[in-house]
């Protein structure tokens, strides 16, 4: 691995460690209601009203829980979910790669299965699974739905660079998928925050307090953008595995 | 395995049949344990909602493709200037905004500023607003396509069609979101209504049909571009 790749990996590990440590420290604050200050409506951020904010830097959510703590814990929960799905995806890709070594028929079957999986619209199918089956199956199905591109790489062009690029793209996709699921009320359930469930009911909450919607949305955008920036940093010197716009073959 | 070699037209056809069988199998596993309540009801529901969905998708692509092409042309011509990185940066930012957040925000804006959801308003039920929002999802993919690589025009069109076919599932998922937030009477709206009513039996045909449409479109594009000099998608 290149020096740039090692540095990017170290940066990711350090950022995740810091995020999980902060989330562990703030876990009680994220679910506890500030009964001393909350008067039935969300407290504003300190930069908007220093007297009314009750010491909550970014204000509180509609039921009086510290928004900053919830954002940190929510980001950690989303990151943990994303890592779990990525690990399951890696296992699926390894299994597919191993099976495809068995011969032409196995390779053909794996390629067709990957193609079939990639034909489903992802979040609607995940909602169906979350709705009709056990929630624990969602991670497995999410991993299966994002795995096809990585399976194609494993079959056709297995290089560290192409896998790293794919993993970053899949991480972005998984974060958005899990958040969409949370937004519709599936996945992580309140009071435990996730970036998706904090945005549930956003259209109603916006009238009550804009910060209860804007900060989670900006955090989610920042998470996805950070992954994109890290992906580009890590792969800057070499070419991308496929020219932009051309499907992986 | 020569007779099912995916680089031949016949091979691609066989591959699509095998893939369709797998789509049916996967749908049966993931959704099909809940029996379809009534085939008549399901087919009627799908049939009436299919045209509005296709209309929305086609309009969105009709908006996204020329704008994406224009952005790609500006980017290609703006070589040394700040224009190229500015366009590239804007496209990256647009791509990184989770689409459900964007649609949710834009539906609020459309509701408040354009009165989209008010019956008396001329914008009410208008196709353009949701199509523009859906076009925002397709735009980054189109703008990042390399239109100006040295190759014959027909091959650029073939590659473009293949890219759209590859990204169709994401586009359909995005379309579902647009239909839900803008109350557009398409398949996505039917999907969320069925979820809210707890009728998984009505969802199975929607998921199955959208996956089948993707496989068939990919087959069509694949067969039409067999002689484009591009190797088959394995």
Q: How far apart are CA A81 and CA A188, in angstroms?
A: 9
Q: CA-based angle B40:B41:B43, to the nearest 5?
A: 65
> How many domains are there within chain A?
1
B197 touches chain A (CB under 8 A): no
In whole angstroms, give the CA distance from residue B85 to residue B81.
8
What pLDDT is attached to residue B41? Answer: 65
- Residue-level pLDDT at B195: 83
**Cβ of B31 under 8 Å from any chain A Cβ?**
yes
pLDDT number for residue B38: 60
CATH code at position A232:
1.10.3720
Task: Kindly determine whether residue B93 and residue A225, on different chains, have CB atoms separated by under 8 Å.
Answer: yes
Beta-strand runs (E) in A38-138? none
Q: Which domain holds residue A241?
A: 3-245
Q: ipTM of the predicted structure? A: 0.87
Residue owning tokens 């940093």: A233
Q: B162 and A116 in contact by Cβ < 8 A?
A: no
> Across the interface, do A180 and B98 touch by the CB < 8 Å criterion?
yes
Angstrom distance (rounded) from CA B116 to CA B114:
5
| pLDDT bucket at B61, cuts 50 / 70 / 90 | very high
Q: Which residues contact B62 (CB under 8 A, 6 or more apart)?
A: none
pTM higher than 0.80: yes
pLDDT tens, position by position, for chain A (249 residues)? 677 778 888 889 999 999 999 999 999 988 888 888 888 888 999 998 888 888 898 999 888 899 999 999 999 999 999 999 999 999 999 999 999 888 888 888 998 999 999 999 999 888 888 876 666 788 888 888 999 999 988 888 788 888 888 999 999 999 999 999 999 888 888 888 999 999 987 777 888 889 999 999 999 999 999 999 988 887 765 433 443 333 333
What pLDDT does B31 receive? 72
Residues B141-154: tens digit of each pLDDT: 888 888 877 777 77
Q: How far are the Cα atoms of A72, A103, B85, B194 from residue A58, in angstroms, in the given order?
A: 12, 58, 33, 38
Is residue B3 scored above 90 in pLDDT?
no
Query: How many angstroms away from the CA of B21 is the closest CA of chain A?
Result: 9
Please give the structure tokens belonging to residue B220: 């069509």
Q: What is the pLDDT of residue B84?
A: 84
pLDDT over 60 (residue B234): no
Q: Are A156 and B234 in contact (CB under 8 A)?
A: yes
Subunit contact A112:B195, Cβ cutoff 8 A: no
pLDDT at residue A76, as a whole number: 96
The confidence score (pLDDT) of residue A244 equals 39
Q: What is the pLDDT of residue B39?
A: 61
């Amino acid at each position: 691995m290149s020096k740039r790749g090692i540095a990017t990996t170290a940066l990711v590990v350090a950022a995740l460690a810091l995020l999980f440590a902060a989330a562990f420290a703030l876990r009680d604050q994220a679910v506890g209601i500030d009964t001393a200050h909350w008067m039935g409506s969300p407290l504003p951020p300190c930069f908007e009203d220093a007297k009314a904010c009750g010491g909550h830097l970014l204000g509180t959510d509609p039921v009086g829980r510290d928004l900053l703590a919830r954002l940190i814990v929510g980001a950690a929960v989303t990151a943990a979910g994303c890592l779990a799905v990525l690990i399951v995806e890696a296992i699926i890709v390894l299994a597919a790669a191993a099976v495809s070594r068995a011969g032409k028929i196995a390779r053909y079957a794996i390629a067709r299965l990957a193609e079939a999986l990639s034909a489903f619209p992802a979040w609607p199918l995940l909602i169906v699974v979350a709705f009709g089956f056990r929630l624990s199956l969602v991670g497995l199905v999410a991993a299966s739905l994002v795995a096809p591109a990585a399976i194609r790489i494993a079959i056709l062009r297995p290089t560290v660079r192409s896998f790293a690029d794919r993993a970053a793209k899949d991480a972005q996709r998984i974060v958005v998928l899990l958040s969409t699921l949370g937004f519709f009320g599936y996945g992580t359930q309140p009071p435990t925050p996730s970036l998706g469930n904090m945005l549930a009911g956003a259209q109603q909450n916006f009238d009550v307090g804009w910060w209860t919607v804007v900060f989670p949305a900006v955090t989610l955008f920042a998470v996805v953008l950070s992954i994109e920036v890290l992906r580009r940093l890590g792969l800057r010197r070499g070419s991308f595995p496929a020219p932009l716009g051309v499907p992986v073959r | 395995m020569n007779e099912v070699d995916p680089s031949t037209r016949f091979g691609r056809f066989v591959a699509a049949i095998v893939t369709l069988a797998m789509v049916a199998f996967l749908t049966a596993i993931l959704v099909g344990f809940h029996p379809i309540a009534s085939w008549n009801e399901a087919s009627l529901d799908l049939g009436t909602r299919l045209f509005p969905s296709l209309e929305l998708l086609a309009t969105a692509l009709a908006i996204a493709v020329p704008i994406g092409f224009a952005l790609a042309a500006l980017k290609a011509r703006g070589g040394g200037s700040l224009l190229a990185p500015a366009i590239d940066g804007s496209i990256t930012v647009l791509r990184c905004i989770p689409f459900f957040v964007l649609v949710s925000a834009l539906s609020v804006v459309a509701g408040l500023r354009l009165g989209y959801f008010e019956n008396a308003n001329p914008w009410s039920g208008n196709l353009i607003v949701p199509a523009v929002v859906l076009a925002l999802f397709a735009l980054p993919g189109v703008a990042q396509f390399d239109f100006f690589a040295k190759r014959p025009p027909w091959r650029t069109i073939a590659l473009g069609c293949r890219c759209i076919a590859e990204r169709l599932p994401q586009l359909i998922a995005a379309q579902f979101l647009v239909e839900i937030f803008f109350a557009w009477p398409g398949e996505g709206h039917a999907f969320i209504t069925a979820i809210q009513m707890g009728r998984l039996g009505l969802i199975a045909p929607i998921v199955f049909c959208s996956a089948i449409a993707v496989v068939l479109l990919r087959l069509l594009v694949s067969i039409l571009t067999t002689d484009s000099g591009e190797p088959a998608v394995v």
